[in-house]
Structure 1
């Protein structure tokens, strides 16, 4: 039986930035990209954890500028495509997208909250006119039902995107929910469907496999699961699982192991794993990128991070609202007096 082709996009050098407070160095990027290229990783995503243009006091300042990160990656990716994450509002066309085009970015992923795909229209349309590969991403997708997700995805298709990726930004989905959403999207769209998983409930690989078995043709996965919260779908685990299910990614398995060893040796103490607070983040549906700031604020205010996550979830707080973590902490501390 012929193997089904699956496209893998690797956001280790973007989502992993959350785990180290956005401090990737030029050497980190250069060395990782060389290994990824050798391993035949199709797409390597690079940048601040919240994408190009997002480095700031509120979201965390990158060690390097977007230009330095992308140009370093571009020099070392000979076969693999270079991708970026773009959130309208953090990134603008003139200030961020055009310089990325000039550097040689191959794949642009325009990401909005799962109910706000309208915000991606201008960015997607602009990139399509330049004949560049562009995907629409729907973040925090657990916050809407399947029908709403499909409606938002149809808008992205109409804007001209090559595909749509729904993102389990909080690591909150379980496999049957993935199956329902992927089957719905595949049946209603004429473009590729992808999935981006987080491991807060220890289901990232299972959810990614379910997405593929249900019709998705692209999934995101990170070396050693290096990403926000409890991390992302673990790349070196996902690939052999897919091989056992007769899916083909064209990735070199030995090269994949070299990538994982590099990440673990370089960032061992920061590599992601499931802890009580990251699990609670997934259970309450809170953005995975909040794990580090919530831990910091909980320590400073001498309160439980679990209480913070519970209240953030109750308020439906989303990425970009990091300043509300302190407000929530103050509220919890005041109530305890």
Structure 2
């Protein structure tokens, strides 16, 4: 095995990749994955050893109907494609309470879904409780994804994970939603949570600062049982941990040799690289990572900065100092009014 000279000291021994190319990656293609691409990716991932595969709209079950961003392929059709294509790997979908209703979770479970990931902001995990209970009753492997994990200190993260474990979640994900964590911080928070709460942990990273793969390795080494990846790192904003790279890194570090990273690289090359992707402003992504500002707030910040004739990135940094969770338009306007106006040219 290539890289066999690498020391295994400190490496995790059982970290598993959950691939969410067909879910998080849908943002990058404006939710326009075709049935042919979905089938090819599902089949290719399974053949390369990936055992957990997530698909569907980026914002999860029912998002195509509840929001103004429909997918080319419906939830129901995704259920069928996954069930028809996969016979060894498990498939699942994302579920945000409020975007999805209990009926949508039940429909997916009855259609053969194996696992669900329930997404809630870490500052208010209570909406997950009823969905966790329903998912467990429906026989689904049940995770909670703590979006915007970065906005709380470590003791707050521990408490949020403890509450989700109390709801009955079998696994809890820490999510670097803004791509702003550094590897040392990831190691510290995973070690703290793993030492305090007896529940399987997962990591979902974004690549604003180019550290998604390094952070994924840090998480796996520090106690994460599951680590997300996407082919070619495709995903919302700057993208995610790259599945094929993570599989190769895991092989070199002897974390696991269960994945065929060469097959994953070919799948990435053949299926992801040819796709037209949405343009993402690199400055926004870098500053967003540095200030730990979620990309969903970029339109609000831009609008308020233009109205006040101030620098949008100075505004982003100033707002992040006060509220990185749910900054209101009123707050952003107030902060913008106090910044120096740009010189007109």
TM-score (norm 2): 0.85
2:18 to 3, 6, 9: 9
Partner of 2:101: 92
Instruction: Please give the alpha-carbon distance, in whole angstroms, between the structure 1 residues aligned to 2:90 and 2:333.
Output: 42
Conserved? CA contact 2:29–2:276, under 8 Å: no
Which ranges of structure 2 fall in alignment gaps of 5 or more residues? 1-7
Which one is further off, 1-10 or 253-262?
A: 1-10
Q: How does 1:177-216 map to 2 (within 5 A)?
A: 177-216=185-224
Conserved? CA contact 1:284–1:309, under 8 Å: yes
Conserved? CA contact 2:12–2:223, under 8 Å: no
Partner of 2:183: 175
Partner of 2:313: 306
Deviations 1:51-75 (A, max 9, x none): 1122258562222321122322322
Partner of 1:35: 44
Instruction: Please give the alpha-carbon distance, in whole angstroms, between the structure 1 residues aligned to 2:66 and 2:168.
Output: 34
Instruction: Please give the alpha-carbon distance, in whole angstroms, between the structure 2 residues aligned to 1:35 and 1:295.
Output: 40
1:80 and 2:89 are equivalent in the alignment = yes
Partner of 2:3: none
Conserved? CA contact 2:120–2:127, under 8 Å: yes
Instruction: Please give the alpha-carbon distance, in whole angstroms, between the structure 1 residues aligned to 2:337 and 2:272.
Output: 37
Corresponding residue pairs, total: 331
Which one is further off, 262-271 or 67-76?
A: 262-271
Distance 1:39 1:268, change over 3 A: farther
Partner of 1:276: 283
Which ranges of structure 1 fall in alignment gaps of 5 or more residues? none
Conserved? CA contact 1:308–1:329, under 8 Å: no
1:287 to 263, 277, 294: 294
Distance 1:70 1:271, change over 3 A: farther
Instruction: Please give the alpha-carbon distance, in whole angstroms, between the structure 2 residues aligned to 1:36 and 1:87.
Output: 25
How many Å apart are 1:194 and its aligned residue? 1.0
Instruction: Please give the alpha-carbon distance, in whole angstroms, between the structure 2 residues aligned to 1:326 and 1:18.
Output: 28
Partner of 1:21: 30
Instruction: Please give the alpha-carbon distance, in whole angstroms, between the structure 1 residues aligned to 2:333 and 2:154.
Output: 33
Q: How does 1:232-243 map to 2 (within 5 A)?
A: 232-243=240-251
Cα RMSD (Å) of the superposition?
3.2
Which one is further off, 209-218 or 55-64?
A: 55-64
1:148 and 2:164 are equivalent in the alignment = no
Distance 1:205 1:79, change over 3 A: same
**SS in structure 1 opposite 2:160?**
helix
Distance 1:284 1:29, change over 3 A: same
Which one is further off, 243-252 or 169-178?
A: 243-252
Partner of 1:228: 236
Distance 1:222 1:314, change over 3 A: same
**SS in structure 2 opposite 1:83?**
strand
